Every structure is written in structure tokens, then in C-alpha cells.
Amino acid sequence: MHRKQWIFDMDGTLTDSMTVVWQGAPLELLRRYGRTARPGIHDVLLSMGMAEGAEYLIRTYDLPLTLRDYEPAMRQVIRDLYKKVELKPGVREMLARLKAEGVRMCICSNTWAEQCEEVLTRLGVADYFEFFYTAQGAKSKAHPEVFHEVLERLGGSGPADAVVCEDAVYATRTARQCGFYLIDIEDETSAADKPELQRLADQYITDWTQLDWTKL
């Protein structure tokens, strides 16, 4: 295996957290304030950034929160929901094998770096990763320079000799544009994008036990 730098997304890639946390968090926040979500709330929030989504929830559901209050309240909801999250099948074995092969690994996630580290520490795999990178806003994975920056921190010589592991189509498109070797894993929340992910990925798998090591 000659690809010695691996960049992992966390939610939906290593952990089963997309439904539990990221679809569940707005519902749980509203529940804590005695509100009931309206039908289609996920579709509405999916089209918004984090700040716009916060404004929408505060306004639409008359939450007793300011924008300043919202972030710590939502972070606490997310932190609590992450306690229910587990690793996807085959993750432990896959990470152990990569470590044994001398691979350098990191997390590049929309989720706050400290939250990723907390989750993966609880699950017993945080030590496999050299650093945790928060990819949000101007530093989101929609921007190629983010992947280049992360690869440089891993000591990579170039994208063709490195691997990006994802479940989200927008990040997959960016990594493909950069020239990385791409592994995409199936997740319930990205089912509608499956044909596009299969087209873009060098390997598309349903769980980590299906990884073809001969191609790496």
C-alpha cells in the first residue's frame, strides 16, 4: 500500500451519527423548549447554513434564545446525542491495519474538532488520528484549499498518493477535483446521492469490511 496519508470525515463515514445527531439535534432542541417540529423541518434546514438555520428555528418556533444563546444550547444537545453514537462496522479493524501499515491519519469534519475528539476518545479510536480539523464556513470542504492544507499537515507529497474517505457528495466532488483517491461509504442520509457517489469514488462500500486493500 503506497498511499500513506488518509483524511477521514467522521459523521456518516466512521460513525453512525448523521441520523442520530444531525437530524435529531433540531428536534431535540425544540423538545427541550416544549416545541414540536413541523413536517419537513429537515428539508428546510438542509438548504441553510448554521447561522441561518439558527435564526429560522428561533424565529419560527419562538424560542427563548438569542443567537448568542443558541450555539451553546445546541452544542449541549449535540454533545448529549453523541453519547448514543457508535462506530460503523469494520472501523476499528480498518484503523488498526492502517496504523500497522505506517499510515498517517486525520479527521476533517464539519463537526467541531473538540467534539470529534471527544466522541472518538469515548469510542477508543482517537489515538489513531494525528489531528482533528474543523471544516466550516470559509474553511468548509466545498473549498479545495482545505484538503490541500490538511494533506500538507499530514506530510503528504500530493493528492494522488493520499486518500479521502467521505459520505457527503459535496465533499466528494471537491476531493475528486483535487485529485485524491476517493473512498465513499454508504449512509442512510446520503441515499439520494448514491449514483453520484458511486460515479465519483474509486471505491464505494457499504461498510468498512468491504474495503479492497489490493487497490490501495
Structural domain spans, the chain: 5-16+86-215, 19-82
Tens-place pLDDT, residues 132-174: 999 888 888 999 999 999 999 999 889 999 999 999 999 999 9
**pLDDT tens-place string over residues 42-58:** 888 876 767 788 999 99
User: What is the spatial distance between Cα 161 and Cα 64, in angstroms, rounded to a whole number?
Assistant: 50
Question: What are the tens digits of pLDDT across the range 55-107?
Answer: 999 999 999 999 999 999 999 999 999 999 999 999 999 999 999 999 999 99
32/191 Cα distance (integer angstroms): 30
Q: What is the pTM for the complete model shown?
A: 0.91
* CA pair distance 121, 53, nearest whole angstrom: 29
Q: What is the mean pLDDT of the chain?
A: 93
Domain spanning 5-16+86-215: CATH 3.40.50.1000: yes
- CATH 1.10.150 at 19-82, yes or no: yes
The reply to whether 5-16+86-215 and 19-82 are identical in fold is no
Name the H helices within the chain. 17, 24-32, 41-46, 50-60, 67-82, 91-100, 113-122, 144-154, 169-178, 194-200
pLDDT of res. 167: 95
